[in-house]
Amino acid sequence: MAATCESENTEAIDQSSFWDENGIHWDAHRIGWAVSGAFALAAIMVTVVSVGRHARHYHVPTEQRQIIRILYMPLVYAIVSWFSYRFFRAYTYYSLVVIIYEAITISAFMLLIIQYVASTSSGKTAEGALARKDKEKLPIPFCCWRYRPTKAYFMYTIKWSVLQYVIIRPLVSIIGIICEALHILCQSSWSYKHPSVYLTAVDFVSISVALYGLILFYDLTKQELNGRRPLAKFLTIKLIVMCTFYQEFVFDALQNHGIIKATEYWTGSNIADGLNAFAITIEMVLFAFFMMWAYPISEYIRPELPKTSAKRAIIDSLNFGDFVAEIWGSLKFFYDYAVGKSHTRGVIKHDAPDFGEAFGVYNASGNLRTRGGSVANVADPEAVQPFFANQPNASRPSNLGGARHVRTPESGGSGETYGMRPLPPQMVSADANGRSFA
């Protein structure tokens, strides 16, 4: 049984109210409460504007769904920090809850950059974009080992390295809340007798794996992410995490060294926690503006399309079914890998585009692209005829009309005969006398 913690709150409770018949009681705590509330409200307003702009131009849901989730981060931190300042006796509960959203934003960022990378592939898949990658060294400190991005397990491993944090972090918080309710958590203690040290160790390993997976994928796909401000986007998340962590460390150190002193109703720990929460509400205004710049709406504005309903975007951003699907897909793949199924081994193969597809003559379905941008089936003579009707000497037979010999099996016979198939007009040229040739 873990040892019971000493209470971090004073026994005496301030019984005065904010309002009474004599007006407002403006003590230091209430002044801080009002100021932090004003900054929290400002952070909320900036976030609402940022989210609203994406919600009204919700034309790329696979990307903007993740962006909106990330944009919520200053809002969530500001609101929870204000409550943890106001109700300082329950600070530990609020701090455990807010960290859960850190896991959500890191996972959303990972899925976002996967979508960015996938958009550079003709097949719109991240695996297709990675098919052109060679063997690479792992980032520091494992740079002595190499990995192959084209392996079947690579993308599943990358996704799982980040998404495991969205499972482990909430579990750590739930266990921490239960331990706090039983007065055995002792968050400020590093004794092996208390659960806090073990929960912190698990959280440290989990977030380290998640960040390493992010860094590895970013380093591998820097070229594909060029022009999308990936570093700025990542810093908007990581700087929030770093600022909250280091300033909490500083305030705790000041309290432990007696610089922050207790009062009648506040212990030194209460004051340190309150200062940290107060600082976070101010910082979230700055980070909300930073995120507005790092995740611009200009990339998604389509003047030719009407504005979208904000309702769908908000519902999508709050529906974490895509997280569940990705986690389940990774777990299923690893199970198949463990039992030795063939699709989990070797290198993923992707069909390379042929000449016509690569140069825009054919699309991936084998259909002909017309000059106006529409698509016609090459096998349909009526679809192809208008091009050849305009060619000089188009009435001539043989290869002058832009046809080529192909060997085609005769439908009713056992042998093969030579047939004629017209070339697309983009691949037919004409000389000065109007004679066309392929």
pLDDT at 416: 44
Is the pTM higher than 0.85? The answer reads: no
Kindly indicate whether the domain formed by 19-327 is annotated with CATH number 1.20.1070: yes
Tokens standing for residue 236? 């908007």
Integer CA distances (angstroms), 154 to 133, 213, 313, 345, 346, in order? 12, 11, 31, 11, 11
Residue 397 DSSP class: -
Residue 108 DSSP class: H
Q: Please check the confidence at residue 298 and state whether its pLDDT lies above 80.
A: yes
The residue extents of the domains of the chain are 19-327, 355-437
pLDDT at 20: 55
Instruction: Give the tens place of pLDDT for each residue, 383-395.
Output: 444 444 444 444 4
If one counts every other C-beta atom within 10 angstroms of the C-beta of residue 42, the result is 18
> Residue for token digits 């019984």?
15
Q: Are 262 and 7 contacting, i.e. CB atoms less than 8 angstroms apart?
A: no
| Residues composing the chain | 438
Give the residue from 54, 398, 4 showing the smallest Cα distance to 193: 4
**What DSSP letter does each residue of 267-333 carry, written as one string?**
-HHHHHHHHHHHHHHHHHHHHHHHHHHHS-GGGT--TTSPPPPHHHHHHHHH-THHHHHHHHHHHHH
Instruction: Give the tens place of pLDDT for each residue, 62-99.
Output: 999 999 999 999 999 999 999 988 887 888 888 888 88
| List of residues 6+ apart from 14 with CB closer than 8 A | 29, 265
- pLDDT bucket at 11, cuts 50 / 70 / 90: low
Helices 268-294 and 28-56 meet at what angle, rounded to 10?
Answer: 20
- pLDDT bucket at 187, cuts 50 / 70 / 90: confident
Identify which has the larger pLDDT, 421 or 174.
174
Long-range contact pairs involving 191-198 (C-beta distance under 8 Å, separation at least 24): 191/3, 193/2, 193/3, 194/2, 194/3, 194/5, 195/2
Relative to beta strand 416-422, strand 429-430 is unpaired
As a whole number of angstroms, the distance between CA 276 and CA 85 comes to 9
pLDDT at 257: 80
pLDDT at 185: 84
| List of residues 6+ apart from 97 with CB closer than 8 A | 80, 173, 177
pLDDT at 423: 52
Q: Please check the confidence at residue 432 and state whether its pLDDT lies above 80.
A: no
Q: Please check the confidence at residue 22 and state whether its pLDDT lies above 70.
A: no
